[in-house]
A = this chain, B = another copy of it.
Amino acid sequence: MSVPGFEAAVAAARESLSQGGVPIGAALVRGGEVVAVGHNERVQQGDPIAHGEMSALRAAGRQRSYRDTVMYTTLAPCAMCTGAILQFKIPRVVVGEDRTFPGEIGLLRSRGVEVEVLDDPRCAQMMAEFQRDHPEVWAEDIAE
């Protein structure tokens, strides 16, 4: 089963990888239509707040409400992206995988956000390889 929003997030992650960046992508979707896509930009722009979800939210620009949106992301949202999802009151998040990074899925659910984890092997493989090949960039991205 192919979900357009999720496939857009995966494509964004792959684009970031092809640029030498952290391979995490996200897409904000409303009514089945992709509003905006983004990927991690730590390496490309030297921007530490530009995680996939944050880049998608920035690309979407000013929105009156996010209550009718879904955030698709290739990796479990970190604390920053979790906070953004809560702040923007996005009701549903679809996550590629949470094997290579657990994120803050528990916090999202505790605040009433519906979280679905797809356990997509493409996402897990892409992150596992990046973590293996670029441990220093990955450590920096999660401030460890």
Contact = CB atoms under 8 A, between A and B. Distances in A.
Given A65-B143, A83-B79, A86-B83, A48 B57 contact: yes
A86 B42 CA distance: 18
Nearest to A63: B48
Nearest to A144: B89
A87 B142 contact: yes
A130 to B, nearest CB: 17
A42 B58 contact: no
Contact of A87 (B58, B63, B88, B143): B143
A132 interface: no
Contacts of A66: 143
Contact of A57 (B49, B58, B61, B82): B49
23 contacts: A42-B62, A46-B61, A46-B62, A48-B60, A48-B61, A48-B63, A48-B88, A49-B49, A49-B57, A49-B84, A50-B58, A62-B140, A66-B143, A78-B83, A78-B87, A80-B86, A80-B88, A82-B83, A83-B83, A83-B84, A83-B86, A87-B143, A88-B143
